[in-house]
Amino acid sequence: MSRFNESVIAIKIAQRSVKRNKLQSFLIIAIIAVPVFLVSALLTLDASTKSTVSEQLKYELGDAVAKYEVQYSPNKNLAQNPDLLQLQEIIPDGTATRGELVDIHQVLPKTNLVAVTKTDAIFKTASGIGPISVFLGESWNPAFLNKGPVTLIEGSVPEGSNEVLVTPSALKRFGVQLGETISTESGLEFKVVGTMRDYSTSTSADIVFAMDKSIPNVSGSSSFYYQLSGDSPSWKEVVKLNQQGIAVLSRSVLLNPPVTEEQLLEENSGGASLFAIFSVLLFLVPLGLLPVVVLAGSAFAFGARRQTRTLAVMASLGASRNTLQNVTVTSGIWLGLLGGLSGVVLGVLLVAFFGPSLVTRSFAVQPTWNQYPGFHIPWMFLIILVIASGVLGAVSSYLPARKASRVNILATLRGQRSEGQVRARTGVGALVLLLAGLAVVIFSSMLFTYALNMPKEAVSAYERADGLKRLAVYGQLAGGIITVIGFMVGRGWILRGIRAVISRFGKQFNFAGRDLLFNRSRYAPVLSSVLVVYFVGAMILSVSHGPMQKQAIENAKQQTMLPGQYNYMFPLNNDGAEPTPEKYLASIPSLQTAEYRKNMITQTGAFTNAAVITATPDFYYGAASRDSAGNFLESFNFTMPHVIFNPETVCYSQAISSHHEAFMKEHADVKDWENYINYPPGCANIIEMNRTIVVADVKTLQTISNRVDPNAEQTLTAGGVVVFSRVFDFNGTAKIRWTKESEYSMENNFDSSNASKAVDLKSYVVPGMVSESLRYMAIISPETAAKLDIQAYPVAVLANTEAPISTEVTDELMGKGIWFERFTADDPNALAWLVTWVAGIFVLLATSIALGLSQIEAATDKRTLAAIGAPKSFRSRMVATQAFALTFTGAALGGGVGIAVGLTLVTSASISDLVLPWPQVVTLLLGVPMLAAFIFWVFTPKNLKYEVRQALD
Amino acid sequence: MTAEVLIELIDVQKTYGNGENEVHALRGASLQVRAGELIAIMGASGSGKSTLLTIAGGLEVPTSGDVRINDHSLPTLRQKELARLRRQTIGYVFQDFNLIPSLTVVENVALPLELDGMNARNARRAATDSLESMGISDLAKRFPDEISGGQRQRVAIARSFVGPRRVLLADEPTGALDSKTSESVIRAMRKRIDGGLAGILVTHDAKLAAWADRILVIRDGQIVDELKTELRPEQFGAN
């Protein structure tokens, strides 16, 4: 029989089966369609968030022909991508500075430019005062207004310098209506004449659009210059302007981009290297595919069993085993393609209707209006996805097909069970797999811990350790998978156990248990599916939840409030002024001020606790100023106490960066790199990097780290140093260096040779620190500081909150004179519940599909039961019991292994403290099985018509 | 000239189970069926008649003895060769029809030919001819669950006739049919046998067995009697 004929027959039978067994086919298709739906929605969403050329022209330029921004001092090393208003160094050696910027009007004297300057100003708000973004200039120019860059929502455009437009959220923050007045802290008043939206800004941004120079003395601003008429610059002109430090977005260049050879920079890869993306995919794709393959495999096993009689008839008519196998596999491909196509269509429709809302309201932390420039369908990816679904169908149906092709023709045609179905499996294989999986997990964890703690004195040691860690992670993952396979192999024994337990609860439970055991082949795939889905879900939840929640909590809780000493970071880098110790020390605020402000903060009731941060002055690093050409100025020699970076660690982190690789390609000659001290090819000449030291007692340490860590506290009180990054770690010690003030004076000609001090202190690395705490990376106790004669000064107040703080609170505090630096973060609990809901829905869907398929297969038995008088209550309890027992057991075993592997990964890697999301875990372990049981209990049909078992199929 | 032997069972034994559970379904059954000849096998339930038929059809392997179909010794054939023999030479009619529910009547009948590599159009044409010979070509586009039991059995018989078959094996083909339908079914079978096929008919029904050339009586796995039918029912005016 030709393959063509086989395929034709298989497709025909598959097509007809879909029509005849609508519910079953729907469930099989749904198994494939659900993940494809998610992936295709994400791909479409991703494509829709990328601008086409016409969209970029619309939103960036409106009717303008070009947009310019002066970003750096002139430098021949600067270049840009044609479609990105961002200068980069061709060789990233850090010589680009914002020293002396060119005057764009002098560079382009004949070009008529409209300037829009983006800056901040302190305004009085409804609840106090706060920094608000201000766009100065004619943002509402007819070339932009309602042409793409900005949209007038209501009101009219300003006609005088005392009139402004604001964004809707700013209007709310000011607490005013159109026509009312807002004012700056310094007393300037503006009438709000309308509301406007800027497509380049966050959807929730508070912005005031005002005329040029209506707010004087703005600082820290950036200006965009729009060319409204004439010819837009060619790529050659853009390249020349780049070397002047000017980035350009040119209409003609966007429409006719230069060929790759003419571009000086590599294409923007979106921030992640291909290797990094590949590594993530390598790890995540098999993990994500595992439940899909097992679920689909289970579904096709049901499908194949459903087709067994058809296959037996075909075999009796002379179809070979190959033919039967190919028929089933082709059916799998067909259903896979249908599932893939359905998923793709649904995914695309979701984005078509809800894309903008998904982007601007759900996913991005700081969404902007132009993040969804237009609905785009990534045809190529979607076609690949549909084909992949067909392949998935083929792969998933292969084993069921193989089994079905070995059908016992006579037994099947007579409706008998084959011997294989009745025979009990031995548990030896399962036991071996369980023990092997456990052993692999334990060994891998030990390997990870070893790799984490192994001495690292050279770059090669880091590389070796990273290699071992990677191996250990894969090992832990593999161990978990082996354990789950062990459970899957031993599912007969698990069903036996379930039966033994549930039989004790009464007659229908006993019957439900017997049915589970006797129809093992029907229920085992359900168990396998639940096992695998829960394994993967629980592992991802426990791995991601700990660090993710920790990070979210840190970000949300910790707010740094500098008590008004903005210039404590003295001297500034760019003014070229030589600092003096006297000037520096004079700038440091008094302790009373800091304490006073701390008390103010805690009295607001918005914070859990607060502490004054006392730190050594930070200007050693700041003094390493550069001139406009990027050369280093002579460093100031007065070395404040600091903790230094381990150069090997720094070197390693630089060695693995893609920049370093690019640099090495350009600078094969050793002499060439001597000028580029940030990126030497070896570690010998690496610049010494350091950070200031915080002096804190145990209570302050707890506030800074926002946790109680006995090891850290013990290290602190024992005279050691607590560091928040391993970059300071020299195999258990941290190196502190400083110049003793009393020995460094005018009398000694500021000779630092005798005054320079160094000490190695026992260190303890607090793992997983993120957020604000990282500003205060090394902490010693006041006693240690006194012993070493290290002076520290109050520099900030750090406060912890339980949740993100609204702008109302920050404005209120700023109104009281407390400067605020706040982090925006999502509510960690809301995030965790969102993950749980999504996981719960997926798990419920997966288990319901698998259970639904088993119940379709069991329909004849249920009809027989109904025919002999079993009431609905008996049948519904039986089905609900089976649903709960299977889902709960699979959830407990799969979820247990997943959590164990996840926590092993987290703890052995010391990524974070153990944070098991108990409410979410309990919801998934108990809630989903109960819901599954409820669904099957409710949907048990009241009246079942008896049908002759022999029927047609 | 004597017609060639198309079906031959030589001392066939079939045993199920072992030890205390050992059941001897066939104990040295031998028979020959020539082209154009139909034999009927009768016997009580459990006597081994269905086992004999499934062994003759290559659906079961004998414990010992030889089975020769169209000069092929079945026990020596590999799975593939056995499958080819089933789709090219043997037509099998089951008591419960065994039609494929997802295929139409004509597709069911054409299936053996398509499985054998014939293109769909030719297979469909041959299937339509076969249905016509059974007088049910008007059912061609219906699905099995849209027709009656008698019609299903006639479809099953049409399927067993289709293509260049040489052997027809029927297991209680009229078991679920009324007498009128039964007669039309056996009449059709007889007509095909007369065209040069060799056939075995397993039945409980003596009236049906009368349509055979010989009747073999089987008891406890052994052929214990053979009767020759002188006149067929059509010849003595049965209806």
- Residue of A19, A22, A310, A313 best to disrupt the B interface, most CBs of B under 10 A: A313
Most confident listed range (A261-275, A313-327, A446-460): A313-327
pLDDT, tens digit, 9 for 90 and up, residues B50-98: 889 989 988 888 999 999 998 899 989 887 888 888 888 999 888 778 8
Nearest CB partner across the interface for B114, out of A5, A409, A950: A5
Amino acid at A752: S
**Cβ contact A950–B83 (<8 Å):** no
% of chain B beyond a pLDDT of 70:
95
pLDDT beyond 60 at A868: yes
Distance in angstroms (rounded) separating the CA atoms of residues A41 and A350: 7
Residues from chain B contacting residue A19 (CB–CB below 8 Å):
102
Amino acid at position A94, single letter: G
Alpha-carbon distance of A732 to A495, in angstroms, equals 52
**Beta pairing, strands B23-34 & A642-644:** unpaired
Torsional class of A187: left (φ above 0), alpha (ψ -120 to 50), beta (otherwise): left
Residue A567 located in a structural domain: yes
Query: Cα B163 to chain center, whole Å?
Result: 15
Q: What is the pLDDT of residue B128?
A: 94
- From CA A378, how far away is CA A386, in angstroms rounded? 12
Q: Please report residues of A whose CB lies closer than 8 A to that of B127.
A: none
Residue of chain B minimizing CA distance to A15: B102
Token code pair at residue A855: 């119940």
Average predicted confidence (pLDDT) for chain A: 75
Note the Cα A905 to chain centre separation in Å: 18
- Taking the CA of residue A273 and the nearest CA in chain B, the distance in Å comes to 52
Q: Between chains, do A9 and B112 touch, taking CB under 8 Å as contact?
A: no
Same domain, yes or no, for A624 and A773? yes
The answer on A223 and A164 residing in a single domain is yes
Q: Which residue has the tokens 């993950």?
A: A835
Residue A426 forms part of a structural domain: no
pLDDT > 50? residue A611: yes
Residue A769, pLDDT above cutoff 80: no
**Which amino acid makes up residue B18?**
N
Q: Would you call B87 an interface residue with chain A, using a CB distance cutoff of 8 Å?
A: yes
- Chain A nearest-CA residue for B86: A318
pLDDT 10s digits, A688-705: 677 788 999 999 988 887
Radius of gyration, alpha carbons of chain B: 17
Q: Which of the residue ranges A189-193, A498-502, A886-890, A901-905 has the most confident prediction, judged by mean pLDDT?
A: A189-193
Nearest by CB: A316 against B98, B101, B118: B98
User: Is-cis flag, bond preceding A373, omega within 30?
Assistant: no
The answer to whether residues A805 and A947 belong to one domain is no
Question: What is the enclosing helix (H) or strand (E) of A854?
Answer: helix A828-857
Q: How many C-beta atoms lie closer than 10 Å to residue A503's C-beta?
A: 17
Query: Closest approach of chain A CAs to the CA of B183, in angstroms?
Result: 24
Q: Which among A17, A316, A317 has CB closest to B102? A: A17
Q: State whether B115 and A318 contact (CB < 8 Å).
A: yes
Which of A766, A786, A815 finishes a domain? A815
Select from B66, B163, B168 the least CA-distant residue to B116.
B163
Q: Shortest CB distance from A410 goes to which of B60, B83, B90?
A: B60
Q: Search chain A and give the residue with CA nearest B57.
A: A316
pLDDT top residue among A334 and A712: A712
Nearest to A652, CA basis, from A726, A760, A736: A726
Q: Is residue A39 part of a domain?
A: no
DSSP assignment of B61-101:
--SEEEEEETTEEGGG--HHHHHHHHHHTEEEE-TT----T
If asked whether residues A876 and A950 sit together in one domain, one would say yes
Query: What confidence score (pLDDT) does residue A244 get?
Result: 92
Residue A420: its pLDDT value, please? Answer: 43
* Ranges of H-type helices in A307-378: 308-316, 321-357
CA distance A778 to A730: 13
CA gap A208, A365 in Å, rounded? 22
A483 & A497 share domain: no
Question: How much is the pLDDT for B2?
Answer: 73
B142 in contact with chain A, both atoms CB, cutoff 8 A: no
pLDDT of residue A269: 43
pLDDT the model gives residue A64: 93
CA nearest to A541, candidates A840, A930, A907: A840
- Maximum C-alpha span of chain B: 54
pLDDT digits (tens, 9 = 90+) for A461-501: 666 777 788 788 888 888 888 888 888 888 888 888 888 88
Residues of B in contact with A313 (CB under 8 A): 98-100
The residues that bridge with B40 in the sheet, in sequence order, are B201, B215
A950 chain-B contacts, CB cut-off 8 A: 96
Where does B89-148 have alpha helices with state H?
105-115, 120-133
Whole-number pLDDT of residue A653: 59
Nearest Cα neighbor of A598 from A589, A695, A550, A785 is A589
Decide if A319 and B98 are in contact by the 8 Å CB cutoff: no
In this prediction, residue A683 carries a pLDDT of 53
Q: Count interface pairs A-B at CB distance under 8 A.
A: 87
Token couple for A840: 């719960």
Looking at every residue in chain B, the average pLDDT score rounds to 86
| A290 inside domain | no
Higher local confidence (pLDDT), A307 or A783: A783
Using a CB–CB cutoff of 8 Å, tell me whether B98 touches chain A. yes
Range from A547-551, A833-837, B210-214, B235-239 that averages highest in pLDDT: B210-214
Chain B residues touching A9 at Cβ < 8 A: 111, 114-115
| Residue B172, phi then psi, degrees to nearest 5 | 45, 55
Does one domain contain both A139 and A225? yes
Which tops the pLDDT comparison, A633 or A368?
Answer: A368
Chosen domain end from A226, A246, A262? A262
Matching residue, tokens 């299936």: B111
The single residue listed with the structure tokens 């040119």 is A250
| Contact across the interface for B112 and A20, Cβ inside 8 Å | no
Q: Of A773, A788, A815, which residue constitutes the final position of a domain?
A: A815
Q: Quick check: is A107 in a domain?
A: yes
In this prediction, residue A26 has a pLDDT band, given cuts at 50, 70 and 90, of confident
Spatial neighbors of A746 by CB under 8 A, at least 6 apart, are none
Q: Are residues A255 and A218 in the same domain?
A: yes
Which amino acid, one-letter code, is at A562?
L
Which contiguous run of DSSP H or E holds residue A255? Answer: helix A251-255
Residue of B nearest to A312 (CA): B98
Distances (CA, A) of A364 to A52, A149, A343, A793, A807: 20, 20, 24, 39, 19
Picking from B80, B92, B101, the nearest residue to A320 by CB comes out as B80
Residue A196 lies inside a defined structural domain of this protein: yes
pLDDT at A207: 92
Q: What's residue A578's pLDDT?
A: 44
Name the minimum distance, in Å, from the CA of A953 to any CA of chain B.
7
Q: How far is residue B87's CA from residue B32's CA, in Å, rounded to a whole number?
A: 21
Q: Exposed/middle/buried for A424, CB within 10 Å: 0-12, 13-18, 19+?
A: exposed
Q: CA geometry: angle at A589 spanning A588 and A595, to 5°?
A: 140
Counting the structural domains of chain A, the total is 4
Task: Tell me the chain B residues in contact with residue A3 when contact means C-beta distances shorter than 8 Å.
Answer: none
Facing residue for A317 by CB, picked from B96, B115, B119: B115
Q: pLDDT tens digits for A329-358?
A: 887 888 889 889 999 999 999 888 887 777
Distances (CA, A) of A663 to A99, A650, A808: 24, 16, 48
Distance CA(B168)–CA(B161), nearest Å, equals 8
Distance set, CA A385 to CA A341, A347, A353, A614, B64 (Å): 9, 12, 21, 56, 55
Q: For residue B65, report the phi and psi dihedrals to the nearest 5 degrees.
A: 90, 180
Residue A746 has pLDDT above 80, yes or no: no
pLDDT at A627 exceeding the cut of 90: no
Asked whether residue A41 is assigned to any structural domain, the reply reads no
3-state secondary structure A661-688: HHHHHHCCCHHHHHHCCCCCCCCCCCCC
A729 and A744 together in one domain: yes
Assess whether A482 and A496 both reside in one domain.
Answer: no
- Domain range for A113: 58-262
Strand order in the sheet with B198-202: B90-93, B167-171, B198-202, B38-42, B214-219, B222-228
Give residues with Cβ within 8 angstroms of B114, minimum separation 6: A1, A5, A8, A9, B120, B123
Same domain, residue pair A766 and A888: no
Specify the DSSP class assigned to residue B177. Answer: S
Paired tokens of B201: 């008919």
For residues A208 and A182, is the Cβ–Cβ distance under 8 A?
A: yes
pLDDT at A301: 74
Give residue ranges of A with CB < 8 Å to any B CB.
1-2, 5, 8-9, 12-13, 16-17, 19-20, 309-310, 312-321, 323, 409-410, 413, 950, 952-953
Report the residue of B100, B160, B161 to disrupt the A interface, i.e. the one with the largest count of A CBs within 10 Å.
B100
Q: Is residue A477 domain-shared with residue A513, that is, in the same domain?
A: no
Predicted local confidence at residue A567, as pLDDT = 26
Q: In this predicted structure, which of A78-82, A129-133, A259-263, B97-101 has the lowest mean pLDDT? A: A259-263
Strand-pair category, A129-137 with A207-210: parallel
- B142 pLDDT band, cuts 50/70/90, is very high
**Amino acid letter, residue B6:** L
Q: What's the pLDDT tens digit per position in A215-258?
A: 876 655 678 999 998 899 999 999 999 999 999 999 999 998 88
CB contact under 8 A, B145 and A952: yes
pLDDT of B30 reads 92
If one compares A630 and B42, the residue with the highest pLDDT of the two is B42
| Residue B61 CB partners (closer than 8 Å, separation 6+) | B55, B74, B75
Tokens of A729: 């770690």
User: In terms of domains, do A703 and A788 share one?
Assistant: yes
Q: Which two tokens stand for residue A783?
A: 């006693």
Question: In the prediction, which pLDDT does A572 show?
Answer: 31
Instruction: Tell me whether strands B23-34 and B38-42 are parallel, antiparallel or unpaired.
Output: unpaired
Mutate to test the interface with A, among B115, B152, B159 (most CBs of A within 10 A): B115
Residues of chain B found within 8 Å of residue A17, distances taken between Cβ atoms: 102
Q: Within a 10 A sphere around the Cβ of A347, how many other Cβ atoms?
A: 23
Q: Are A654 and A679 in contact (CB under 8 A)?
A: yes
What's the average model confidence in pLDDT over A602-630? 61
Contact assignment for A316 to B101 by CB distance below 8 Å: no
CB environment B24-55: b (16+ within 10 A), e (fewer): bbbeebebebebbbbbbbbbeeebbbbbbbbb
**A96 inside domain:** yes
* Among chain A residues, CA nearest to B159: A317
Q: Do A316 and B79 touch (CB under 8 A)?
A: no
Q: Where residue B198 falls among pLDDT bands split at 50, 70, 90?
A: very high
Chain A contact present for B88, CB below 8 A: yes
Which residues, at least 6 apart from A837, have a Cβ–Cβ distance to it below 8 Å?
A: none
CB–CB of B109/B165 below 8 Å?
Answer: no
For the cut 70, the answer to whether the pLDDT of residue A659 exceeds it is: no
Q: In this structure, are strands A756-765 and A642-644 parallel, antiparallel, or unpaired?
A: unpaired
SS3 A827: coil
